[in-house]
Amino acid sequence: MTEQPSPPTGDAQLAPSLQTVASDRRRDQTVELLSAACADGRLTLEDFSDRLETALQARTIPELAALEADLGVARPLPTPARPGVRAARSFVAIMSSAHGRGRLVLGPATRALAVMGEVVLDLRGAELAAGHSHIQAIAVMGSVKVVVPEGLNVELNGLALMGSKSLKGGTTLPPPEAPVIEVTAMAVMGEVAVVIKSAKPGRRRIGPFAWDSD
């Protein structure tokens, strides 16, 4: 009679289940995918809210995968207009904070996602990789703040559901040919704020899309 292998014991019994435990990074990826699907119309706000709550409580990879199964592939973000420029693409804060400031490069498409957290993008020291930059700002029980230097054309659109979106500041009218910062807001019990401020001291314009120190 063939001898049957003995059943695994100790840590060996736990290995299969440990492989299905979802990491924080994996959960963040699911939340970002759900947010993108809601922003481009593949999910209604109600469905997004339900799935988001489930994702934040999920503990295993199969649970997260089930929430993504019918969404297909997210629409890719456009590549930077200038070859060789590595632009910031995504800022995510889930029950935490994320900041973008200093000499970051802002590409044509950027996503800022705050879920019970805070994202702050200060573009007063940024370089723009294109003449038109689109920021998708999603705040779910959190806040996204975008600080834009004077001299740029700023547009704010989107929606707020039991939340707020606002555009404040700015004392001078930018020239028509100035670069455009377009912010599309989705605030669900959260806040998206765009604030126009004067450039940081010691910064000067060195080209149509860049600033540098004196």
**5 has pLDDT over 60:** no
Q: Parallel, antiparallel, or unpaired for β 203-207 and 210-213?
A: antiparallel
Token pair for 161: 């559901």
If asked whether residues 202 and 134 sit together in one domain, one would say: yes
Q: Is residue 193 part of a domain?
A: yes
Report residue 59 CA to chain centroid gap: 23
- The pLDDT of 8-27, averaged and rounded, is 62
If asked whether residues 125 and 204 sit together in one domain, one would say: yes
Of all helices (H) and strands (E), which one includes residue 14?
Answer: helix 11-18
Query: Nearest Cα to 142, choosing from 188, 185, 101, 98?
Result: 188
164: three-class secondary structure by DSSP: strand
Phi then psi dihedrals of residue 45, to 5 deg:
-60, -40
Instruction: Look at residue 192 in the predicted model and tell me its pLDDT.
Output: 97
User: Can you name the residues that pair with 110 across neighbouring β-strands?
Assistant: 135
> Residues 55-83: pLDDT tens digits?
888 889 889 989 888 887 554 444 444 44
> Residues 156-167: pLDDT tens digits?
999 898 899 999
Go through the chain and tell me how many residues it has.
Answer: 214
Query: Nearest Cα to 188, choosing from 128, 144, 127, 126?
Result: 144
If asked whether residues 117 and 170 sit together in one domain, one would say: yes
Which residue range(s) make up the domain with 170?
88-213
> Residues 118-146: pLDDT tens digits?
999 999 888 888 788 999 999 999 999 99
Residue 8 or residue 64, greater confidence: 64
Instruction: Look at residue 211 in the predicted model and tell me its pLDDT.
Output: 44
- The pLDDT of 36-53, averaged and rounded, is 74
**Number of domain units in the chain:** 2
User: Can you name the residues that pair with 148 across neighbouring β-strands?
Assistant: 196
If asked whether residues 137 and 169 sit together in one domain, one would say: yes
If asked whether residues 121 and 192 sit together in one domain, one would say: yes
Token pair for 67: 């929430």
**10 has pLDDT over 60:** no
Q: Is residue 78 part of a domain?
A: no
If asked whether residues 143 and 199 sit together in one domain, one would say: yes
Q: Is residue 104 part of a domain?
A: yes
Q: Is this structure's pTM higher than 0.75?
A: no
Question: What is the Cα–Cα distance from 89 to 112, expressed in whole angstroms?
Answer: 9
**43 has pLDDT over 80:** no
Instruction: Look at residue 73 in the predicted model and tell me its pLDDT.
Output: 59
If asked whether residues 111 and 204 sit together in one domain, one would say: yes
Q: Which of 34, 68, 102 is the last residue of a domain?
A: 68
If asked whether residues 97 and 42 sit together in one domain, one would say: no
Q: Which of 68, 96, 127 is the last residue of a domain?
A: 68
Q: Is residue 79 part of a domain?
A: no
CA distances from 19 to 9, 15, 61 (A): 17, 6, 9
